[in-house]
Amino acid sequence: MPKLGTRKLYYLLKVEFQRIGIKIGRDALFDYLRSESILIKPRKNYTKTTDSRHWLRKHPNLMKDVIPVRPEQYFVSDITYIKSRERTHYLSLVTDAFSRKIMGYHLSDDMSAENVVQAMKMANNNRITSEELIHHSDRGLQYCSSLYQTELKRSNVTPSMTDGYDCYQNALAERINGILKGEFLINKCNTGQELKILIQQSIKTYNNERPHLSLKYKTSNFIHNKNPSKIASRDLLNVY
């Protein structure tokens, strides 16, 4: 986790600091990292990958003003671009809205529906429940396509989409894109094959080792696999 935030870093290191007798608080750790010029500098970079100007059917927004209360209640999906030295690639992600676990992903050289749907197929295969599920995305051509909608119907998943082009209505999916690109995929790979390996390793680390502030410093896999009745949902609401 080469660009883990300082709050999460302090949480992971606090016990070790105490064990070896280093007395340092969170604010002091911020000051130390700042003095060494190794605080993370956020990147401001945005490229539009959504084209919602098409005639295909758009579905209503079923996530508006909703707070997920269990894993696999809502999946959120998005597409982002990643460059290697070969070319520009496109990463499709499907994330569980409650646990923040990346359930499915697929890297391709274009944004065709045939490629984007592979991430949803992986997410379906990785499910651990059979409860009612809603899939939320933007109104991009790929998600509105008959191919993608057929996959949702086959899996008994209800589609949900943003109201027009409004990235804030799919903010969680956009946030996961930013975490992967800002914290893990920070070096340009030589080839698409190298990038595939890096993405696989990064998502495994993200799901199993990266603590989330919104999950009270728990990992996505921990929350996703924990008995929902034992999760204090009210403690996870601050992110919404």
Q: Give the pLDDT confidence of 10-48 residue by residue, as tens digits.
A: 888 888 888 898 888 878 887 888 888 877 766 655 455
DSSP characters over 49-108: -----SSSPPPP-S-TT----STTSEEEEEEEEEE-SS-EEEEEEEEETTT--EEEEEEE
Give the Cα separation of 120 and 42 in Å (integer). Answer: 30
Domain-embedded: residue 58: no
**Do residues 31 and 78 share a domain?**
no
Q: Are residues 133 and 186 in the same domain?
A: yes
| Average pLDDT of the residues in 202-223 | 94
What pTM was estimated for this model as a whole?
Answer: 0.80
Look at residue 66 and tell me if it is in a domain. no
Range of the domain at 23: 6-35
Query: In the structure encoding, which two tokens stand for residue 157, read together?
Result: 């998943």
- 47: in domain: no
| pLDDT tens digit sequence for 145-199 | 999 999 999 999 999 999 866 667 788 999 999 999 989 999 999 999 999 999 9
Q: What is the mean pLDDT of residues 201-220?
A: 94
Are residues 2 and 26 in contact, defined by beta-carbon separation less than 8 angstroms? no
Domain count, the chain: 2
In this structure, is residue 65 part of a structural domain?
no
Query: Do 213 and 160 share a structural domain?
Result: yes
95 and 29, same structural domain? no
